[in-house]
């Protein structure tokens, strides 16, 4: 049965209803971002309006609807998925590419005098709203942010999540809430602010040593925080806080207020206040509640930088989490090798078996994102996800890409490995080897402390570019500490702005994950997590190096070893020796035998 045509019939109906509402409200264009009032990456169902309206299920994308056009802007990770899901829906895929207009630029280019562009201000970042409003104004158009059309259009819209929140406690929580708040207030004073408003969920979770289950894969909870000169208020639905936790927080001077009362609280901020906000991490709709006399002090949330720099105590727990994760992976890969060719194995089976192996390990809480298991052509879609309706069996010859991760009380993991199925071709092995060269090149690098992280991207790409190959996604993202698997401020991607806030500092954890994707054939990605460590000081300044945290063999059956330089072989052998030494004590039987085989020197 063709479920896609049925789905796209529903999408066409929803678009028609949306256009009727737009006509009634005098709206010429409607912008629907993938966002919530916390500007989260993974959204609770209530805010998945772009997905509901368009039928495109990628985690990132922006929808624009006009009376005669509808388009979803998506980057290269989602092109194949979006092409398939949008087919026949009346919505075009607009490919985000360097040098081409993004959705905000497109709206400004298309705007005519007196036209109106609408977006729900509750989910649009202040920085984005200013840019868009200014560009529209220059064309004689205006931006309207006081309407959420989904309230009327979306029948059966999901309710807000209600899961309980809980404390992240010692020993894994290595700093007290009170110490974090004292440190935060010190930075506020340095910046000339006396108030601070936080809407980003991982910042709030880190600051208060609290975790939740409101967002898939990320242990955060829907909330806001407002810090005043003599007060700390946490805005969260009251039913999510048990009496014991409420008593603990209130004894520490933290006032609990209802999540829905944030607007009233912002109206109460004194007009003489100097309020620190991050314009990239707070929405215009929220700041509209403030008295116009309140002075905004704008800059990066201090907590964003605090939590990105893991302490020595944090790092010790992260290393332990990596060992447990690596042991789970060894159990899984030992099973996979024994199963292939002897029992049915699908992309869905891989997700089930891998999750089950992790669930046995101490401190495991959940997956850190939806497992990506893509065989051959499916692996060419960087954010592919197998479903009951559409998935592949793992049989025949080819390459299997597995990208997965876990949330542990002592850390967050994210790893990608390639598995040869049957006999990989020479071209497949060349792609894997080239990508491994990129991983090794950046893993071995030393660089000045404070270098802007996007500038490091070319180090990993150089061996890949040298053969006329490239990939569309970034090379690395920051990773949280039992928090979001994607966090800032650092990002290793030449497409990202090299702003001062992206400076590399000790303790930052980043992924290294170059790739190669051949649509319809196969995809290759190898990923490790690394942490910045001090590498000494010379007359030229302080330097950093990278410690590889991820512990799992890289399958050399996918690699053309003869193409590796001696330095690259030395790195691979040293890495495998470390993996074997640290994981062997946690394993026995078939997983241990698999580890010994896959860490043999080359």
CA dihedral 489, 490, 494, 498 (to 10 degrees): 60
Domain presence at residue 549: yes
Angle between helices 457-465 and 426-443 (to 10 degrees): 150
Mean pLDDT computed over every residue of the chain:
95
Does one domain contain both 349 and 283?
no
Cβ–Cβ under 8 Å, residues 400 and 419: yes
Domain presence at residue 136: yes
Does one domain contain both 364 and 227?
no
Does one domain contain both 332 and 403?
yes
Burial code (b: 16+ CB inside 10 Å, e: under 16) for 18-40 equals bbebbeeeebbbbbbbbbbbbbb
Q: Total domain count for the chain? A: 3
Cα–Cα distance, 324 to 406 (Å, whole number):
10
Cβ–Cβ under 8 Å, residues 26 and 116: yes
Cβ–Cβ under 8 Å, residues 28 and 116: yes
Does one domain contain both 270 and 354?
no
Among the candidates 153, 184, 217, a domain finishes at 153
Question: 2 pLDDT exceeds 50?
Answer: no
pLDDT tens, 179-203?
999 999 999 999 999 999 999 999 9
Does one domain contain both 41 and 83?
yes
| Among the ranges given (15-24, 245-254, 385-394), the one the predictor scored with the smallest mean pLDDT | 385-394
Among the candidates 254, 272, 301, a domain finishes at 301
Distances (CA, A) of 228 to 203, 235, 460: 17, 14, 44
pLDDT value at residue 75: 87
Domain presence at residue 137: yes
Cα–Cα distance, 157 to 153 (Å, whole number):
9
Does one domain contain both 407 and 555?
yes
Distances (CA, A) of 592 to 351, 499, 587: 21, 45, 5
Does one domain contain both 431 and 325?
yes
CATH classification at residue 448: 3.90.230.10
**Distinct helix (H) and strand (E) counts, the chain:** 18, 28
Distances (CA, A) of 353 to 330, 401, 486: 12, 15, 24
The strand pairing partners of 142, in sequence order, are 116
SS3 346: strand
Name the phi and psi angles at 492, rounded to 5. -100, 90
Token pair of 485 as six digits: 């698997």
Among the candidates 153, 182, 200, a domain finishes at 153
Cβ–Cβ under 8 Å, residues 200 and 220: no
Q: What percent of the chain has pLDDT over 90?
A: 92
Question: 4 pLDDT exceeds 80?
Answer: no
Domain presence at residue 158: no
Chain mean position to CA 90: 29
pLDDT tens, 512-560?
999 999 999 999 999 999 999 999 999 999 999 999 999 999 999 999 9
Which residues have CB under 8 Å from 362's CB, separation 6+? 324
Does one domain contain both 297 and 313?
no
Domain presence at residue 160: no
Domain presence at residue 195: yes
Does one domain contain both 352 and 295?
no
Burial code (b: 16+ CB inside 10 Å, e: under 16) for 108-139 equals bebbeeebbbbbbbbbbbbebbeebbebbeeb
CB-count exposure of residue 366 (10 Å: 0-12, 13-18, 19+):
middle
pLDDT value at residue 7: 62
Does one domain contain both 434 and 560?
yes
pLDDT value at residue 13: 92
Does one domain contain both 507 and 386?
yes
Cβ–Cβ under 8 Å, residues 308 and 490: yes
Read off the pTM: 0.92
Domain presence at residue 7: yes
Cα–Cα distance, 218 to 118 (Å, whole number):
30
Q: Give residue for tokens 């690395």.
A: 476
Q: What percent of the chain has pLDDT over 70?
A: 99
Domain boundaries, position 594: 309-598
pLDDT tens, 64-86?
999 999 999 998 878 888 998 99
pLDDT tens, 567-590?
999 999 999 999 999 999 999 999
CATH classification at residue 102: 3.40.350.10
Domain presence at residue 62: yes
Report the candidate in 227, 302, 284 with the shortest Cα–Cα distance to residue 488.
Answer: 302
Does one domain contain both 460 and 563?
yes
């Amino acid at each position: 049965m063709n479920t896609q045509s049925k789905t796209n019939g529903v999408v066409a109906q929803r678009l028609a209803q949306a256009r009727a509402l737009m006509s009634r409200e005098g709206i010429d264009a409607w912008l629907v971002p993938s966002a919530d009032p916390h500007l989260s990456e993974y959204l609770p169902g209530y805010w998945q309006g772009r997905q509901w309206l368009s039928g495109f299920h990628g985690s990132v994308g922006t929808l624009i609807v006009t009376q005669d056009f509808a388009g979803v802007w998506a980057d290269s990770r989602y092109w194949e998925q979006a092409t398939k899901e949008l087919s026949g829906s009346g919505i075009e895929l607009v490919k985000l590419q360097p040098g081409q207009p993004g959705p905000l630029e497109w709206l400004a280019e298309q705007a005519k005098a007196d036209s109106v562009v609408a977006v729900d201000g509750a989910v649009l970042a202040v920085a984005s709203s200013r840019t868009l409003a200014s560009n529209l104004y220059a064309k004689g158009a205006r931006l309207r942010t006081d309407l959420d059309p989904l309230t009327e259009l979306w029948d059966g819209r999901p309710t807000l999540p209600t899961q309980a929140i809980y404390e992240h406690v010692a020993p894994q929580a290595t700093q007290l809430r009170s110490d974090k708040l004292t440190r935060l207030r010190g930075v506020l004073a340095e910046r000339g602010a006396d108030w601070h408003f936080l809407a980003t969920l991982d910042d709030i979770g880190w600051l208060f040593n609290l975790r939740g289950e409101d967002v898939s894969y990320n242990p955060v909870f829907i909330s806001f925080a407002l810090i005043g000169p003599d007060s700390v208020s946490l805005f969260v639905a009251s039913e999510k806080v048990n009496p014991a936790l409420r008593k603990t927080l209130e004894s520490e001077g933290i006032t609990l207020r209802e999540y829905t009362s944030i607007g009233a609280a912002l109206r109460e901020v004194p007009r003489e206040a100097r309020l620190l906000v991050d314009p990239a991490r707070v929405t215009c709709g929220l700041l509209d509640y403030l008295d116009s006399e309140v002075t905004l002090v704008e800059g990066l949330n201090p907590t964003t930088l605090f939590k990105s720099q893991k302490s020595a105590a944090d790092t010790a727990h992260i290393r332990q989490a990596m060992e447990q994760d690596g042991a789970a992976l060894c159990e899984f890969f030992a099973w996979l090798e024994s199963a292939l060719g002897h029992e049915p194995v699908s992309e869905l089976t891989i997700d089930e078996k891998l999750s089950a192996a992790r669930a046995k390990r101490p401190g495991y809480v959940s997956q850190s994102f939806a497992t990506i298991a893509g065989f051959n052509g499916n692996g060419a879609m960087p954010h592919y996800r197998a479903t009951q309706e559409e998935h592949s069996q793992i049989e025949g010859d080819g390459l299997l890409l597995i990208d997965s991760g876990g949330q542990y009380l002592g850390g967050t993991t994210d790893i990608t490995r390639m598995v040869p199925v049957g006999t990989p071709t020479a071209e497949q092995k060349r792609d894997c080897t080239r990508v491994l060269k990129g991983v090794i090149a950046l893993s071995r690098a030393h660089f000045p402390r404070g270098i802007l992280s996007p500038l490091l991207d070319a180090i990993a790409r150089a061996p890949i570019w040298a053969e006329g190959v490239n990939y569309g996604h970034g090379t690395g993202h920051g990773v949280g500490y039992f928090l979001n698997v994607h966090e800032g401020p650092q990002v290793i991607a030449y497409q990202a702005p090299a702003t001062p806030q992206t400076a590399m500092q000790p303790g930052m954890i980043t992924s290294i994950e170059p790739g190669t994707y051949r649509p319809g054939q196969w995809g290759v990605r190898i990923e490790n997590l690394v942490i910045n460590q001090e590498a000494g000081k010379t007359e030229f300044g302080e330097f950093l190096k990278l410690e590889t945290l991820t512990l799992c063999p890289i399958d050399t059956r996918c690699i053309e070893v003869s193409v590796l330089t001696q330095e690259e072989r030395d790195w691979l052998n040293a890495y495998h020796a470390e993996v074997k030494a640290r994981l062997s004590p946690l394993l026995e039987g078939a997983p241990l035998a698999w580890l010994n085989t896959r860490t043999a020197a080359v």
